[in-house]
Structure 1
């Protein structure tokens, strides 16, 4: 009898164990399914990265400007940028339109109408926080190929990205892509309407990028494949006109239709407003038609006013892919202050100006704010 009890107990234990395992297997299966779903949801989390981009207008080094910078040990332009240096240093990337070639003293410095500037201009821009210079403009060929090659050599020496004029065809074909630590890449392109009637040397088109829609379209298409967004600099428009002409608007629309994300204009030597332009695919392109003069010896009121445009750029990575958003434009109007003896040149934020520096400074500053924001009411102004 005891043997039967033993056998029965053993059988009962086996059955209970089997049931328990079945329950555990089922329970474990449900738990694993839940974990798998959770893992799938966590495999592609939404990631956001943000950078800022700033740009300034024309760096136009007239003779009084470089004479003011001259000292016993060469040229020092850095004091001219001291009051705006923090605004140039803060952004992730800062771009400047270096309108005069820095060909150096070895070929002779010169001013309007045929410019050649000291190398030390490059040093000052680098120290102030500039990361990229655009050098396609109507003065690129002023002093010929030697000045361009000297300038490029110096930009390379100080590790400054340049675009719009190149050493040779190989250099020109090397698309300028700026890769940020945040994982956002920007392609920089630059073109000019012309070169003051100076012909581009035969078989040396690389010396300056002229506005050519076919080439621009091809390079923008290439840029879209290699970078997250396109920053296009255009030297265009009519000098001293405070509003863009129809040719400017048409070219910006062309750029928007071909995928440019940001268009930075220069050449008029005065400020022209900002706006958003819609491309043919529904994309939004931010444009500032002209950033005016950032540093020069031009005398008229509006030619002494420029500024720093700033934009935020956000990259979002999620299960659907990558998206780029340009947003939150802000602007810091600036004024080139100097004495009646053409000394002590300095770039001053307009909100800091006194009436001693500029008569009726407060009202002029307000007029500039209204002028720049007339097509973009949400444009913010930096006042601290």
Structure 2
């Protein structure tokens, strides 16, 4: 009997004693979708790209084999597909010697016709697509989810309690980049994130990227998005209990400052793997997550106060830290270098907060 990807997810979650609210908070996946994944209710999702993207993120969050679970889902989909009617009835004797040559000839003619027809359609579509990027589209975003294909220079208008905010689609190649009053915001393929676009009181919109080309910006990006209600945008104030004073930091440790300001805020660490690497992370002194990654894999970590990362090959990955609309790339290590780093907030003697990178080992 085929394994159930939903049951594997549920057992892993319960084994780690995680409730749905905790998982939803950590992964930015709604409780409805998490429950649907565990119950294998695939019809709940607006499309297969959403389901596969959420399944991958949820599996990686639980430290499961995402590729295997996606394969289980696709095998289940094939297994549940209806059997073609022709396979359910006995075929009567048919004059194949006469019909077969005619069928082959007809297939060749149809194939040639389809080839030229599709090539004609593709050529026309390419012209239309390039022309479409020249026309700036303006979308109005409310609490009602919308699904659109956006192109560079399109504008998304969002009405918030603080007023109307306009987002500019700056990039639609490899990743979606939005220009906001709170700085540039980046969203990867298959990722659902909450974005703070006005720096007022927490996240304002939720956006999911279901399709984006790696090498062709003219294709745009297929996104699903909606605005959060005013109550949903209110975040709990950041706890300062876990933030050490700068005098408590070992002065002998190699250190650098990423961000500096009058307040501490949550930050995200995006890791892009360029080669094979054993990688371990621990955010805010919670559970340690460890896995083996290959070139092309991605890992995202969200932290309140700090995160420790351990890597077996510092040259095999690129680390990017994002917070308060700002982005900072960490230095790449040497090939084969084993590296342990702390990325955490510290409080200076003047009351200011600094997000620092400390070389632990």
Q: What TM-score do you get using the length of structure 1 for normalisation?
A: 0.25
Structure richer in strand, relative to its length: 2
Structure richer in helix, relative to its length: 1
Bigger Rg, structure 1 or 2? 1
More RCO (CA 8 Å, sep 6+) = 1
